[in-house]
């Protein structure tokens, strides 16, 4: 009883100070992870979207659930940054579609902001000061690059995207960052009863749409090939080209969303890995086998490449993709502490090079430590979240590896997302 009273008396951590809806002026400070900048007001941190460092703006608080900080939109710009531009997308802006973060920012400045975020995350979470990071532009411009997307569907069946940090669907008739055939395949019609629709366009122009129910389970898929004819038996395989090879991927299975990203990442991974004939390579979280397949020709038949992937469909496509490389194997399994220990035992000899490309949450401390324990001469880490990268770099550092280099790629223009490729080497190297 006494315990219950004490618990009830504790301040709730999800309580703000009731600022929601309040408007005030702030001078905007540095960019932060997540597509906003940091400002301060009456001693509190305010995360301001739709702003830029150095601007003077009027903000409206959109969310106040924490005593230490609140979230706000810049609703009026009083003193604009020279990097501010007219938003090319008519659906973006405060209170509107939440799909993009930086529509109001010159693309070169977007890349500088992303580099600052990577640097800041490595500083704060991995204790590394002033790491040199450049976020490189990919060819194709800031619009019409997205080859894969998930659109939400509202209760009436109308498709769109969600408002930032909301379940509300903003109904759209176009999405200017998505390639036109994908945007039109979803946004030009109604999807009664669906919860969301995944869409992807492959390098032959085939458009795969996959309807998901309200709990996110795919219920049906279809492919429309150029010319509009449907195959007799709908197949959802998509063709991709990267690193000088052709790849087959499940239609809405994992593949980089930017058409130039897979090539750029293969080039960066191969540069950092610098594999030699006869070496052994572990490609973890391998998807359709992109990195393992790109490195296998160089290690040659005296070497060995083992790709590890948990998804059976991705493993099947990886098997097909690597069929001409007998020294490249695909192993289905989970990369977690237990799975990795078993895998390393079964392999017998430790890898010379490890490539890992985990999902957004990162590999985690246990996996990072085990990989460091292999003594691999190079670990090449591909990351879509700089915070997860920084946490894992810290775990590698505790286990005797140092960050030797990092490259950033603007594989998601107009959004706050950034792809990084990092090289970790034994501290003494
Ligand atoms: C970011 S994707 C990378 C795919 C591939 N490297 C590429 O660039 O195309 C991450 C992949 O890891 C797989 N995956 C997620 N969790 C995993 C786990 N615990 N063990 C093994 N694979 C996992 C996913 O199915 C997905 O294919």
Last residue of a domain, one of 84, 106, 133: 84
* 420 flagged as catalytic: no
pTM: 0.93
Q: How far is the CA of 255 from the centre of ligand 1 (A)?
A: 10
| CB contact at 8 A, 295 and 270 | yes
The answer on 259 and 406 residing in a single domain is yes
Domain count, the chain: 3
* Measured distance CA(270)–CA(259) in Å, rounded: 19
CA–CA gap between residue 359 and residue 1 (Å, rounded): 44
Of all protein residues, the one whose alpha carbon is nearest to atom 1 of ligand 1 is 359
CATH number at residue 344: 3.40.50.150
| Among the ranges given (207-221, 224-238, 338-352, 377-391), the one the predictor scored with the smallest mean pLDDT | 224-238
**Residue-wise over 351-388: b if at least 16 C-beta within 10 A, else e?**
bbbbbbbbeeebbbbebbbbbbebebbbbbbbbbbbbb
Instruction: State the chain's mean pLDDT as an integer.
Output: 93
304 and 414 both lie in a single domain: yes
Q: Flag whether 100 is in a domain.
A: no
Residue ranges in 337-385 assigned as alpha helix (H): 337-347, 365-373
- pLDDT of amino acid 251: 62
Residues 192 and 289 occupy one common structural domain:
no
Please work out whether the CB of residue 325 comes within 6 Å of at least one atom of ligand 1: no
* Domain residue limits at 159: 148-236
* Ligand 1 centroid from CA 288, angstroms: 9
Distance CA 356, CA 364 (A): 12
Percent of the chain with pLDDT over 70: 94
The single-letter DSSP state of residue 351 is: P
| Distance in Å, CA 141 to ligand 1 centroid | 27
Across the range 68-74, mean pLDDT stands at 97
Q: Return the higher-pLDDT residue of 245 and 299.
A: 299
How far apart are the C-alpha atoms of 265 and 268, rounded to whole Å? 5
Contact 26, 70 (CB under 8 A): no
**Residue 4 or residue 99, greater confidence:** 99
pLDDT score recorded for residue 164: 96
Instruction: Report pLDDT digits (tens) over 359-401.
Output: 999 999 999 999 999 999 999 999 999 999 999 999 999 999 9
**pLDDT at residue number 5:** 46
Q: Is residue 385 part of a domain?
A: yes
Asked if the model's pLDDT at residue 26 lies above 90, the reply is yes
313 lines ligand 1 (CB under 6 A): no
Same structural domain, 195 and 319? no
Marked catalytic residue, from 37, 100, 175, 384: 384
Do residues 274 and 197 share a domain?
no
- Over residues 68-90, the mean pLDDT reads 98
Whether 396 is covered by a domain: the verdict is yes
Phi, psi of 426 (to 5 degrees): -55, 140
Residue 12 maps to which CATH number?
Answer: 2.40.50.140
* Same domain as 371, residue 231: no
Which residues have C-beta within 8 Å of that of residue 384, sequence separation ≥ 6? Answer: 359, 360, 417, 418, 419, 420
R_g of the chain computed on alpha carbons: 23
> Closest ligand 1 atom to the C-alpha of 283?
6
In this prediction, residue 232 has a pLDDT band, given cuts at 50, 70 and 90, of very low
Q: Taking residues 235-264, report their average pLDDT.
A: 84
Does residue 207 sit in the same domain as residue 326? no
CB of 336 shorter than 6 A to ligand 1: yes
Distance in Å, CA 310 to ligand 1 centroid: 7
What pLDDT is stored for residue 223 in this prediction?
82
93 pLDDT exceeds 90? Answer: yes
User: Does the beta carbon of 291 lie inside 6 Å of ligand 1?
Assistant: yes
Could you give phi then psi for residue 21, rounded to 5 degrees?
A: 90, -15
Ligand 1 close to Cβ of residue 52 (< 6 A): no
Q: Are 423 and 394 a contacting pair, CB within 8 Å?
A: no
Of residues 94, 6, 1, 108, the one with CA closest to residue 49: 94
Residues 347 and 307: their CA atoms lie apart, in Å, by 12
The answer to whether residue 235 scores a pLDDT higher than 90 is no
Q: Residue 93 — left, alpha, or beta (φ > 0 → left; ψ -120 to 50 → alpha)? A: left
Average pLDDT over residues 323-340: 96
Is 137's pLDDT higher than 90? yes
Same domain as 332, residue 221: no
Residue whose entry in the numeric block shows the structure tokens 């996110």? 216
Residue 155 is assigned to a structural domain of this protein: yes
In this predicted model, what pLDDT tens digit does every residue of 161-177 receive, in sequence order?
999 999 999 999 999 99
Domain boundary among 60, 84, 108: 84
Say if CB 1 and CB 85 are below 8 A apart: no
């Amino acid at each position: 009883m006494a315990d219950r009273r004490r618990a009830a008396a504790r301040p709730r951590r999800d309580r703000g100070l009731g600022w929601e809806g309040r408007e005030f002026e702030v001078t905007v400070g540095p960019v932060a992870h997540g597509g906003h900048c940091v400002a301060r007001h009456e001693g509190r941190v305010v995360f301001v979207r739709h702003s830029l460092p150095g601007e003077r703006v009027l903000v409206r608080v959109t969310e106040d659930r924490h005593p230490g900080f609140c979230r706000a939109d810049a609703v009026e710009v009083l003193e604009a940054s020279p990097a501010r531009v007219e938003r090319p997308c008519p659906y973006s802006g405060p209170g509107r579609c939440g799909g993009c973060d930086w529509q109001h920012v010159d693309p070169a400045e977007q890349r500088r902001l992303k580099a600052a975020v990577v640097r800041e995350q490595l500083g704060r979470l991995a204790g590394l000061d002033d790491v040199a990071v450049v976020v490189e532009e990919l060819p194709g411009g800031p619009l019409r690059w997205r080859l894969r997307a998930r659109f939400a569907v509202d209760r009436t069946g109308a498709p769109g995207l969600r408002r930032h940090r909301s379940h509300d669907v903003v109904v759209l008739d176009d999405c200017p960052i998505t390639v036109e055939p994908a945007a039109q395949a979803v946004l030009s019609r109604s999807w009664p009863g669906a919860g969301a629709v995944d869409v992807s366009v492959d390098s032959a122009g085939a458009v795969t749409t996959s309807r998901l129910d309200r709990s996110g389970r795919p219920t049906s898929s279809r492919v429309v090939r150029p010319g509009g004819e449907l195959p007799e038996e709908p197949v959802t395989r998509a063709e991709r080209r990267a690193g000088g090879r052709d790849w087959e991927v499940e239609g809405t299975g994992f593949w980089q969303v930017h058409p130039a990203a897979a090539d750029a990442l293969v080039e960066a991974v191969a540069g950092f890995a610098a594999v030699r004939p006869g070496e052994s390579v572990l490609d973890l979280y391998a998807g359709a086998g992109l990195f393992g397949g790109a490195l296998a020709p160089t290690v040659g038949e005296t070497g060995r490449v083992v790709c590890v992937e948990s998804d059976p469909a991705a493993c099947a496509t990886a098997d097909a993709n690597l069929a001409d490389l007998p020294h490249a194997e695909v192993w289905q399994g989970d990369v977690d502490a237990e799975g990795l220990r078993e895998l390393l035992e079964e392999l017998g000899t430790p890898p010379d090079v490890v490539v890992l490309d985990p999902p957004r949450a990162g590999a985690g401390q246990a996996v990072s430590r085990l990989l460091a324990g292999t003594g691999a001469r190079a670990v090449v880490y591909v990351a879509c979240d700089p915070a997860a990268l920084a946490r894992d770099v810290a775990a590698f550092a505790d286990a005797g590896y140092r960050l030797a280099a990092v490259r950033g790629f603007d594989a998601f223009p107009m959004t706050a997302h950034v792809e990084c490729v990092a090289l970790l080497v034994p501290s003494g190297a």
